[in-house]
């Protein structure tokens, strides 16, 4: 089901942090999918809208956060990722060109870099693991952009990668409600063990965003809550004062 709540985030003088929440399936990249399907077309459109709202605050820096990144590592110019493990010879630089000796990014940050490229964002990017997000939100001046990459449960249906678990839909629905309401505390308190059991790779990232923005006034919009391939895909945009 696709849903939207409220209007576009209100961008005022107090808006210091803007967040785009996007899922990170490899098929987000058209070269991986091959022939376009309606579900992935809708997914890309939702991500485009969420990233566009995040960039509307004109951040000088966008922090890309996602699973698979080693804690304590900051990805930047010269680093890159690829989708060779998914059958396509595609390399995506994180910022500028990939240089010899550059670090290899996880898929979540690779797709985040691709989304920023598609949106035309050419200013500073920093890629980090979820545990490192809070410090950057505290240290970097606003307006700051955050691109939070992560999927919901991969156990939504019997054909899902992790097979069916009846707890998967309620879990993702609770995440969608928190994203729609701008409820940072609810995101911060997501059950990490249950998320791991349900193969919801986005939970550490969502928890990190929630913890970083807890207590702030947040305007929110949910762009997508769907599971066309048995995996929960959620896209949303927040602005936090």
Whether 138 shows a pLDDT value over 60: the answer reads yes
Q: What is the pLDDT of residues 182-209, one digit of tens each?
A: 999 999 999 999 999 999 999 999 999 9
Kindly state the average pLDDT of the residues 62-67: 97
The confidence score (pLDDT) of residue 33 equals 84
Q: What is the pLDDT of residues 4-51, one digit of tens each?
A: 444 444 443 444 899 999 999 999 999 898 788 899 999 999 999 999
The confidence score (pLDDT) of residue 4 equals 43
- What do you get for the CA distance between the two ends of the chain, in Å? 30
Domains of the chain are 17-240 (3.40.830.10)
Which one has a higher pLDDT value, 62 or 13?
62
The confidence score (pLDDT) of residue 3 equals 40
Whether 238 shows a pLDDT value over 50: the answer reads yes
| Average pLDDT score over the chain | 92
Kindly state the average pLDDT of the residues 123-135: 97
């Amino acid at each position: 089901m696709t849903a939207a709540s409220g209007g576009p985030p209100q961008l005022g003088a107090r808006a210091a942090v803007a967040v785009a929440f996007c899922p990170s399936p490899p098929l987000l990249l058209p070269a991986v999918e091959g022939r376009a399907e309606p579900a992935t077309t809708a997914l890309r459109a939702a991500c485009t809208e969420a990233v566009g709202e995040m960039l509307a605050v004109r951040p000088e820096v966008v922090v890309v956060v996602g699973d698979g990144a080693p804690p304590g590592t900051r990805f930047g110019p010269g680093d890159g990722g690829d989708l060779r493990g998914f059958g396509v010879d595609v390399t995506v630089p994180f910022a500028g060109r990939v240089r010899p000796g550059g670090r290899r990014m996880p898929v979540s940050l690779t797709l985040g870099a691709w989304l920023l490229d598609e949106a035309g964002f050419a200013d500073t990017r920093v890629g980090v693991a979820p545990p490192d997000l809070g410090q950057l939100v505290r240290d970097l001046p606003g307006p700051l952009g955050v691109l939070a990459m992560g999927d919901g449960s991969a156990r939504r249906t019997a054909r899902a990668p992790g097979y069916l678990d009846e707890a998967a839909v309620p879990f993702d629905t609770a995440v969608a409600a928190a994203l729609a309401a701008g409820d940072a505390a609810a995101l911060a308190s997501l059950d990490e063990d249950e998320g791991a059991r349900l193969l919801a790779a986005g939970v550490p990232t969502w928890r990190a965003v929630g913890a970083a923005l807890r207590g702030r006034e947040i305007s929110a919009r949910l762009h997508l809550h769907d599971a066309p391939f048995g995996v929960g895909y959620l896209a949303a945009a927040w602005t936090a004062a």
